[in-house]
Amino acid sequence: MVKRLAILLIGLLVINGFEIRAQEDYKELKKKYTYTIEKKHEVLDIDYDAIRFKKRPKNIILIIGDGMGTGQVFAGITVNNGLNIEQMPYVGFVKTQSADNYVTDSGAGGTALSTGVRTYNGAIGVDVNGKKLTTILEYADRNGKGTGLVSTSAITHATPASFIAHQAHRNMYEQIAGDFMNTDIDVFIGGGADFFTKRVDGRNLILELNEKGYHVGYNIDEVASKKDGKLAVLTAVGHNPGYRDRGELLSKSTAKAIEILSNNDNKGFFLMVEGSQIDWGSHQNDASYVTGEVLDLDKALAEALKFAIEDKRTLVIVTADHETGGMSVNGGNTSKGYVETGFTTGDHSAVMVPIFAFGAGAEEFIGIYDNTEVFEKMYKLFKFKQEDKD
């Protein structure tokens, strides 16, 4: 009896460990320090000063390059001989330290950006005492705005999770998926379908989404005709593949989310878009993985910038939750699209990350400040009342 119980227990541990690894198996060192570009993309030609943006944004598109420091951005600039990010005229630096560690993880880093509160590493939308925090996405929803999340990882992974979920630990993927049922989010696109259907509690969240009026799809091209209403696209059972194998998924998802949110009859919108795998390439010290992912994020950024130029009431922000890899650029050739990189760690680093802003209210983002300030600035720019804060 005791022996059988022990076997059962070990079995459970193995299954659990496997599930966690299934979302965390991207950290193996590759040590590939050089990269030559596979396909250059055209950068938008923007005469920024000729555009009359409104002073305050009705819409905010927050783009997070997970693990994207200045090294990662400059590797992209080098190989593509310019990036759309360079069209964003207001630039600052963000300090990323968490409440319990000088080096943050994506849970605490995402929660600081989404709620304005520093918390412990691994936390998702809760403070150091485990108390639920209200996120900018939830405040937007409460104030009649549309909301959306797009990610190249599972939609339940730490970065998108910290905008919608409230859980003690980032590994609680099924509970995080459950939290998607607790808001009125208009659109979310990312991997992680299994956390919605193959659940310990037996709930089928896809059925629940259908009952709540969502159109649920599993492929971004398959939902092309969906132009408004509520949309959930679960593009992979777990994480999406890397940039070489997922095509234009991130750009198409970003454009689709913007289209849905701008067509819905809301008082503006908040959208977070994540390039998740810049972090994974950096953990692996793989120059090609990192740089390819930065280029992919920059292509998605073009969709946001085009919308902001047209709309004039939209703010586009690009930043990171932390830097990964202690990455530097040690050499390069812009005409050959070649870069030589170096890394100081296989983990996250403590350095400041850049922040770039474009459009309505963009000038607020210059300077050096804490990641929690990003939330405060968005909250103020949206004109949400301080007395309405939880």
Binding site for Zn ion (CB under 5 A): 279
Out of 59, 80, 104, 106, name the contact with Mg ion by CB under 5 A.
Answer: 106
Task: Please report how close the Cβ of residue 102 comes to Zn ion at its closest, in angstroms.
Answer: 15
Q: Using CB under 5 A, which residues numbered 263 to 322 contact Mg ion?
A: 276
Q: How many residues bind Mg ion (CB under 5 A)?
A: 4
Chain position whose Cβ is nearest to Mg ion: 159
Answer for the pair 78, 354: CB distance below 8 angstroms, yes or no.
Answer: no
Which residue number places its CB atom closest to Zn ion?
Answer: 279
**How far from 125 is each of 35, 162, 359, CA to CA, in Å?**
37, 5, 28
Smallest distance from the beta carbon of 283 to Zn ion, in angstroms? Answer: 6
Q: Please, are residues 363 and 55 in contact by the beta-carbon 8 Å criterion? A: no
**Angle at which helices 106-115 and 371-381 pack, to 10 degrees?**
30
Q: Which of the choices Zn ion, Mg ion, none does residue 251 contact, using the CB cut-off of 5 to 8 A by kind?
A: none
Cβ nearer to Mg ion, comparing 78 with 240: 240
Comparison of 304 and 320: residue with beta carbon closer to Zn ion: 320
The residue (of 100 and 228) whose beta carbon lies closer to Zn ion is 100
Site string for Mg ion, 150-179 (x = CB under 5 A): ---------x--------------------
d(CA 353, CA 365): 13
Which residue type sits at 163? F
H helix intervals, 42-129: 70-80, 106-115
CB of 151 to Zn ion, least distance (A): 14
Task: Give the span between the Cα atoms of 179 and 205, in whole angstroms.
Answer: 10
Q: Which stretch binds Mg ion (CB under 5 A): 66-74, 114-122, 295-303, 326-334?
A: 66-74
Q: What are phi and psi of 348, to 5 degrees?
A: -75, 160
Q: From the list Mg ion, Zn ion, none, which binds 159 (C-beta under 5 to 8 Å, kind-based)? A: Mg ion
Q: What minimum distance in Å lies between the beta carbon of 88 and Zn ion? A: 24
The SS3 of residue 381 is helix
Instruction: State the minimum distance, in angstroms, from the CB of residue 223 to Mg ion.
Output: 23
Active-site residue identified among 106, 253, 262, 288:
106
Cα angle value 359/365/367 (rounded, 5°) = 145
Contact 208, 232 (CB under 8 A): no
CB nearer Mg ion, residue 239 or residue 299: 239
**Tokens encoding 190:** 């990312």
Q: Which stretch binds Mg ion (CB under 5 A): 13-21, 88-96, 103-111, 210-218?
A: 103-111
324 touches Mg ion by CB under 5 A: no
**Nearest distance, CB of residue 26 and Zn ion, angstroms:** 8
**Which of 83/273 has CB closer to Mg ion?**
273
- The residue (of 97 and 276) whose beta carbon lies closer to Mg ion is 276
Residue 156 or 183: the one with the smaller Cβ distance to Zn ion is: 156
Output the smallest distance, CB 319 to Mg ion, in A.
13
106 is catalytic: yes
- The reply to whether 66 sits near Mg ion by the rule CB under 5 A is yes
As a dihedral over the C-alpha atoms of residue 10, residue 11, residue 13, residue 15, rounded to 10 degrees, the angle is: 160
Residues labelled as active-site residues: 106
Query: What residue ranges bind Mg ion (CB under 5 A)?
Result: 66, 106, 159, 276
